Structures are given as structure tokens and as C-alpha cells.
Amino acid sequence: MDKGENKIEVKVEVEGIFLGRKVKEKFDVSLKKGGTVKDLLKALDRVNKLGKRFFRDLPLLIDLPELSINGKSFHLIKDKNKKLNDGDYVFIHTNSKCR
């Protein structure tokens, strides 16, 4: 069995003001098949240059960032166990957009 068969690829875009910092980044992330939003946040912490636990700590922010998957809105905390599929597009943003 090819290892790629047990992986999914997810495209992620992060944009806005997080902890007083302008962020506008794009990532291509590999997850195990059946990976969730929570797994995605952990994976993003491994590949990002924004700081240790940056993504895993997003649900702790008072001004909770918004999450959309393939254009549909989800709640970053309540939907953390939502399973992702191969080719999904995830957009994490705040209302304050970077220019």
C-alpha cells in the first residue's frame, strides 16, 4: 500500500490581525486520512514560522478567528473535530484584513 493513500492534502489561507500581528500566509498541509480541524492546527504549528503553538492557541483568543472550509462557515471551537477531505480549502481569518 502506498503511504500517499493514507494522506490528504489541504490548502490553508490565514489572513488578518492575530495578537496584534498582521498575518497573510498560505500553506499546503498533509494530514492523515480522516484528519480533523484540530489535527490541522497541530500540523500548521509544525510548518509555520509564526511561533510555537500559534495555531493551536487560536481558539483561546477572546476575539475568536473565523473558520471556513470550502466557503462554508464553521466555529473554530465547536467544529474542531470536523473531518477534512482531500483538496479542502480552509480559510482562517479575523475581521481585520491585511492590506
Helix (H) or strand (E) holding 89: strand 89-93
Range of the domain at 19: 3-93
Number of domains composing the chain:
1
- pLDDT at 97 (0 to 100): 53
CATH number, domain at 12? 3.10.20.30
Cβ-contact 92, 18 below 8 angstroms:
no
- Give SS3 for 5: helix
Residue in this structure with the C-alpha cell 474542531, named with its chain if needed: 80
- pLDDT at 1 (0 to 100): 38
- pLDDT at 50 (0 to 100): 75
pLDDT, tens only, 19-28:
788 889 999 9
In the chain, which stretches have pLDDT less than 50? 1-2
* Domain assignment present for 83: yes
Q: Rg of the chain over CA atoms, in angstroms? A: 13
